[in-house]
Structure 1
């Protein structure tokens, strides 16, 4: 991913927080000589001093059939994004787009059945936590749980992380604040989230034109 120095993010805690909050990603591999991608939840975790992503997909999805042939895989995560009009600047410029994107490279291995169930239990516990009547996986019937045999679990050992936070860091203090105000006035959810991200991670803008 092309990342100008001003937009490159290397703060481990910030990137980790982003991955945990934006865990629905895009897994990209090679299959029969062409790129193949699947949208799916990918959970970030750390163990034994290393970082990983864990996920699963349907056995009917042919992507998993070539997992053992991959030298390296790519997982892409997107955060809030929004159009930024040049009319919000104090000087003449071109319009642009603000966004957050993280690319994860790594080595993939397929999980065995004993690893799969704890991973699924953890996934359900995370996302059922805010549900009014959460599902308890341990109380599901055997018939329902048998659906686990129709999926394939996998784990990616992370080897490289590329994070881009393009949030108007190249603008002046005045322009930066005006962009936030304009995005907050927009009725769109993405615009509001982009403004929130800009406020949360506001850079030192002294000296920017």
Structure 2
């Protein structure tokens, strides 16, 4: 992507925050038959300059054979997004509709980890999503252990990371407040909150 400078935010706190809060992402690679993409949950760990992503994939997925540490991959994390109507501005005849969004793109060379018991790593992923300890991997240890045989666990040290925060930051504060209110009325609460944080 090529965003204007005022939409780019590569601050580590921002990019890491998006990757952790919106951790179900799309990993794209080039395989023998061209581009391939897979939706996967990731865990970001504070390892290396930009962090390291950990994930898992089914052995039956053709992409599992691409995790050799040599092929580049891009993982795209999508945060809140919302349509912005030109009618929300004071002068709609001087505006056009647009789309506000928050996104992070992380690139690196994923590598499969040696076969072993990944139960503890998978437990970290489960704990990231389970609320109030509703379910633990210990509740189904035998079944989970059998499932692990069909999984490839991998890591991707992040080489480059780009953060995008296109939330009307090029507009005056008064107009951003109007847009945030309209988003709230449309139940686009996450984007409204992001814009209000910008205004704070």
Same fold (TM over 0.5): yes
How far the C-alpha of 1:141 sits from its partner, in A, is 4.0
More displaced stretch, 107-116 vs 152-161:
107-116
Q: Could you list the runs of 4 or more consecutive aligned residues of structure 1 that deviate by over 4 angstroms after TM superposition? A: none
More displaced stretch, 112-121 vs 163-172:
112-121
1:118 aligns with 2:91: no
CA RMSD of aligned residues (A): 1.8
Superposition pairs of residues 121-140 of structure 1, within 5 angstroms? 121-128=123-130, 130-131=131-132, 134-140=134-140
Do the aligned partners of residues 140 and 167 (structure 1) sit closer, same or farther apart at CA in structure 2, a change above 3 Å counting?
A: same
SS at match of 1:9: coil
- Aligned match of 1:180: 180
- Number of aligned residues: 198
More displaced stretch, 136-145 vs 103-112:
136-145
How far the C-alpha of 1:33 sits from its partner, in A, is 3.6
Question: Which runs of no fewer than 5 residues in structure 1 stay unpaired?
Answer: 204-209
* Inter-partner Cα distance in structure 2 for 1:180 and 1:48: 37
- Aligned match of 2:192: 195
- String of CA shifts for 1:117-174, please: whole Å, max 9, x gaps: 321011112222x14x622323424244211111111100000001110000111122
Question: Which runs of no fewer than 5 residues in structure 2 stay unpaired?
Answer: none
Contact 2:103 2:165 (8 Å CA) reproduced: yes
- Aligned match of 2:101: 99
Do the aligned partners of residues 97 and 28 (structure 1) sit closer, same or farther apart at CA in structure 2, a change above 3 Å counting?
A: same
1:23 aligns with 2:23: yes
Scaled by the length of structure 2, the TM-score of the pair is 0.91
How far the C-alpha of 1:197 sits from its partner, in A, is 1.0
